[in-house]
């Protein structure tokens, strides 16, 4: 296992847990039952990677190969129910963990596309799908227009992270260093975007 994977694996588990717990809170706001909480958490956490691999025909999917991932996401979602009374105190921690998830999932997605020799544009898109589609599935299943399409720099963070990672790989720099740099810049970008409420311009069309 290269160093960079030894770094990415624990961070990606943190990302899965954060994604599942934030989805569980969304489920709680809609008074879903415990099964719904576990399902929504797991689909949100694992849906991005699953969509990427299904679109690329990259079988078996991660959770099929490593079913313990389902145990992690289910446990995280159910733990959220128990932790609900105190969880609002950790709001900022959640933003951090969720940002780690976004950036780490993006890098993992790029990695998988690189290994199957995809075009660079597809590598970036694979990273973005890995990082962003879980949240889209969560919002669709909760009957919301996906947050990804409406607000916040989320997809943009994913694209920038992917670009840095891909460029670095091309430049023959040590993969570990590239991973760390992409991770650092992506994370900083995301946290600054949250802190200063950076947003993309909106397209408002109200004819007809």
Residue 50 or 106: the one with the smaller Cβ distance to its own copies is 50
Q: Least distance (Å) from its own copies to the CB of residue 50?
A: 7
Q: Least distance (Å) from its own copies to the CB of residue 64?
A: 5
Residue 8 or 23: the one with the smaller Cβ distance to its own copies is 23
With contact defined as beta carbons under 8 Å apart, do 175 and 4 qualify? yes
- Residue 156: exposed, middle, or buried by beta-carbon count in 10 A (0-12, 13-18, 19+)? middle
Q: Give me the residues that bind its own copies (CB under 8 A), please.
A: 24-25, 27-37, 39-40, 50, 54-57, 59-61, 63-64, 67, 70-71, 80-81, 84, 88, 118-119, 121-122, 125, 136, 140-146, 148-151, 155-156, 199-208
Q: Least distance (Å) from its own copies to the CB of residue 183?
A: 22
Query: Which residues neighbour 161 within 8 Å (Cβ) at sequence distance 6 or greater?
Result: 102, 103, 106, 107, 127, 131, 182, 183, 185, 186, 189
Question: Residue 146 CA to chain centroid, in angstroms?
Answer: 14
With contact defined as beta carbons under 8 Å apart, do 49 and 62 qualify? yes
Q: Least distance (Å) from its own copies to the CB of residue 114?
A: 14
Residue 24 or 103: the one with the smaller Cβ distance to its own copies is 24
Residue 42 or 108: the one with the smaller Cβ distance to its own copies is 42
- Residue 80: exposed, middle, or buried by beta-carbon count in 10 A (0-12, 13-18, 19+)? buried
């Amino acid at each position: 296992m290269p160093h960079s994977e030894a770094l990415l694996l624990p961070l990606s588990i943190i990302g899965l847990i954060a994604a599942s717990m934030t989805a569980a809170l969304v489920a709680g706001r809609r008074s879903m039952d415990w099964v719904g909480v576990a399902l929504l958490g797991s689909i949100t956490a694992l849906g991005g990677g699953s969509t990427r691999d299904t679109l690329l025909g990259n079988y078996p999917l991660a959770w099929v190969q490593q079913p313990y991932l389902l145990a992690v996401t289910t446990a995280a979602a159910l733990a959220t129910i128990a932790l609900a009374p105190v969880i609002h105190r950790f709001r900022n921690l959640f933003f951090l963990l969720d940002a780690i998830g976004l950036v780490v999932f993006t890098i993992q997605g790029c990695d998988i596309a690189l290994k199957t020799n995809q075009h660079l544009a597809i590598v970036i898109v694979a990273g973005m799908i890995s990082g962003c589609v879980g949240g889209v599935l969560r919002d669709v299943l909760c009957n919301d227009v996906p947050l990804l399409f409406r607000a916040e720099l989320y997809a943009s963070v994913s694209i920038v992270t992917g670009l840095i990672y891909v460029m670095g790989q091309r430049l023959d720099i040590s993969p570990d260093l590239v991973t760390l740099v992409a991770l650092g810049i992506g994370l900083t970008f995301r946290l600054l975007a949250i802190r200063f409420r950076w947003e993309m311009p909106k397209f408002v069309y109200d004819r007809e």
